[in-house]
A and B are shown apart, each in its own frame.
Chain A
Amino acid sequence: MSDSTRSRELDALVADMRSDVLHPAEVDAVVAGLLTTLTPPPGGGGAAGGPDTATSCPNPSSEVRSLAVKVAV
């Protein structure tokens, strides 16, 4: 096998990996899980979690807002 053929094989392998993004259904699950954790339950109060968790903030909706502002491009 020539060097150029090997290089093309490696390029093809990398191209395969680049196209292998998370499936939309898996992204849906990530979004659902994250929003469940970060948004307050109906009736107020924070989501379940101990004092050391990210969900222990007394006003999680402001936390969601803060994350959005910080990460927005």
Chain B
Amino acid sequence: MQPERRQVGLVEELVREHAPFVGRALRYLGVPEADVPDATQEVFLVAHRRRDDFDGQSPRAWLKAIAVHVARNARRSLRRRREAGADALPEGSVPPAQEAAAERRSRRGRALALLEALPKAQREVFVLHDVEQHTMKEVSHMLGIPLQTGYSRLRLARARLQRTLTDEEQA
């Protein structure tokens, strides 16, 4: 195998290892479903451009930090589209799938609705810590916030989600 081809294969391997989780983080950080694949690619392109900033410690945490910024941009873009009168892409734009996939979409929709009710700052901490399972030290570094602020936001996010679950039950 030519060295160049081998290196491209290595990049592919790296993307395959991390993209499933980068995509998940983008989805629950609020990137519209139809934009998740493009946003995932954007994360890796930014990583490529900024590879000299990488400290070599944790590619997983580094990529998620980039994902936070890509997700913020995507949400801003979505807000602008809505303000301009363009509707968000309908759920029907996702190819129809089997029953299991429909069930998955249903659970995902519920989770996204719950997260949508959180303030952005709390949502980011909750997703990165509880869903993506980064340590609070990593989360505080990714978001540029003090450790205690991270813990405080996480506590508030969990309490709010629990309240919402209670409200749902009582409704």
Seen from chain A, the residues whose Cβ lies within 8 Å of a Cβ on chain B are 1, 6-7, 9-10, 13-14, 16-18, 20-22, 26-27, 29-31, 33-35, 37-39, 54, 61, 63-68, 70-73
Contacts and interface: CB of A to CB of B under 8 A. Distances in A.
B40 A30 contact: yes
B48 interface: yes
Contacts, number: 124
B44 A34 contact: yes
Contacts of B161: 10, 13
Contacts of B38: 33
Given A16-B107, A30-B44, A54-B45, A68 B11 contact: yes
A16 B44 contact: no
B7 A22 contact: no
B41 interface: yes
A5 to B, nearest CB: 9
Interface residues of B, number: 49
B164 to A, nearest CB: 10
B48 A38 contact: yes
B44 A35 contact: no
A30 B19 contact: yes
Contacts of B131: 14, 17-18
Interface in B23-66: 23-24, 27-28, 36-38, 40-41, 44-45, 47-49, 51-52, 54, 56, 59
B24 to A, nearest CB: 5
A54 B41 contact: no
Nearest to A9: B165
Given A6-B162, A71-B54, A27 B107 contact: no
A17 B28 contact: yes
